[in-house]
Amino acid sequence: MLKRALQAGLEASLRKYPVVGIVGSRQTGKTTLAKAVRRTVAKQSVYLDLELPSDLNKLQSPELYLRQFADRLVIIDEIQRMPELFPLLRALVDQKRSGGRFLILGSASPEMIRHASESLAGRVVYHELSPLTLIETGMKRAERLWLRGGYPTSFLAGSDEESLAWRESFVRTYLEMDLPQLGIRVPAPQIRRFWTMLAHVHGQLWNASRIAASLGITAPTVKHYLDILEETFIVRVLEPWHSNAKKRLVKAPKVFIRDAGLLHALLRVPAVEDLRAHPIAGSSWEGYVIEQIMGMVPREWQAHYYRTSAGAEIDLLLHDRRSRPIAVEIKLSATPQVTKGFWTALEDLSCKKGYVVYPGKERYPIAENVAALPLNDLAEIFE
């Protein structure tokens, strides 16, 4: 068992907010985390798993059942299965507005978010539980995390072969069972082909027309598929920076498969040796590092990439709207070299500081306010 970094923030939110939500992809460990919180802060809590018929049966009259627990934390797992609970939770919270009334867990369907925003505005705070990160696994297992990804069962598997088999099963289950349960009706073979195509263009600029032509469908349909994968935490859509009106900027987003292990499963990359020799290695490393950084980004910060038609480019820009952006370039090299485009972009944006993240062990300066940064020191970006 690995303690999740989110646990402390989750417990703090339960002391302040009447409703706290944990959202994230399937199999990231939401239920395990909720039970860990239950052991530490609310041992007398009530736990309902809406995938169990026995627990669903308890909610035949949900108001009558939930009203009796006004002084206890109620944990509701897979709440998207009963969206009609959201207005009831609002009414119960308004009758007694205190911290830690409800902890709700869900795989974040669009329907779930819509009901939550309409019914629980001002009463709920959400935390996203991502797959495991380096903060949780430790640097000694960084290479394993890159290959296998951060889904706990995959990462903790007894062998790379066992891990790969689990990830391949996850993809099938997600397409054939999870999406239909979320109310999303898309043919599984079609969206699998789309997902596999995304793996081959991982980290590249989004081109809906090109992908649509390859699949024999329309560009709006392709955009719908992308939205599904984004809203269920499978892909990350990194939008371009648009604040510099004097430059001709690239306006298409970049798309990444968030979990490196799923990327490698879709591309049939079984081991680290195969990964390092694969054409996707550089893009895979970039996406992997971005996910580690995004796991540390403060809630109020935003992330973009920057690229001009003249070739100025930065892989990741981080900012909090009140100060100049921080530039992050990502290189899969023991001796990272940055291009002229990086320096041009730094000047264009008057960046506060810059980093070149690489798979080494030593931090060292490259130029004034620009440093080569190993994975172990990523937290320095936000200091």
Question: Residue 35: what residue type?
Answer: K
The DSSP H or E segment spanning 263 is helix 260-266
d(CA 65, CA 61): 6
Do the beta carbons of residue 149 and residue 260 sit within 8 Å?
Answer: yes
d(CA 37, CA 40): 5
Token pair of 150 as six digits: 């951060």
Q: Is residue 127 classed as helix, strand or coil in its secondary structure? A: strand
Q: What is the pTM of this model?
A: 0.93
Question: Residue 249: what residue type?
Answer: L
CATH architecture group of domain 7-128: 3-Layer(aba) Sandwich (3.40)
Residue 314: C-alpha distances to residues 253, 263, 273 (Å): 13, 23, 28
* Residue 323 pLDDT: 79
Do the beta carbons of residue 66 and residue 92 sit within 8 Å?
Answer: yes
* Residue 80 pLDDT: 83
Q: Is residue 338 classed as helix, strand or coil in its secondary structure? A: coil
d(CA 252, CA 250): 6
Q: Is residue 81 classed as helix, strand or coil in its secondary structure? A: helix
Token pair of 42 as six digits: 């609310």
* Residue 111 pLDDT: 62
Give the fold, CATH level 3, of 296-383.
Answer: Trna Endonuclease; Chain: A, domain 1 (3.40.1350)
d(CA 310, CA 299): 33
**Residuewise pLDDT in 10s, the chain (383 residues):** 688 999 999 999 999 999 999 999 999 999 999 999 988 887 789 999 998 999 999 999 999 999 999 999 999 998 988 888 999 999 999 999 999 999 999 886 656 666 676 788 888 999 999 999 999 999 999 999 999 999 999 999 999 999 999 999 999 999 998 888 777 888 889 999 999 999 999 999 999 999 999 999 999 999 999 999 998 999 999 999 877 556 677 889 999 999 999 999 999 999 999 999 999 999 999 999 999 999 999 888 999 999 988 889 999 999 987 778 999 999 999 999 999 999 999 998 999 899 999 999 999 999 999 999 999 999 999 98
Token pair of 40 as six digits: 């530490």
Token pair of 72 as six digits: 């206890």
- Residue 211: CB atoms within 10 A of its CB come to 22
- Residue 144: CB atoms within 10 A of its CB come to 18
Domain 137-240+251-281 bears CATH identifier 1.10.10.10: yes
Domain boundaries, the chain: 7-128, 137-240+251-281, 296-383
Query: Would you state the torsion angle of the CA atoms of residues 78, 69, 98, 20, taken in this order, to the nearest 10 degrees?
Result: -10
* Residue 255 pLDDT: 97
Token pair of 276 as six digits: 């390092």
* Residue 119 pLDDT: 80
The backbone torsions φ and ψ at residue 304, rounded to the nearest 5 degrees and listed phi first, read -145, 175
Strand pairing of 313-319 and 326-330? Answer: antiparallel
* Residue 187 pLDDT: 87
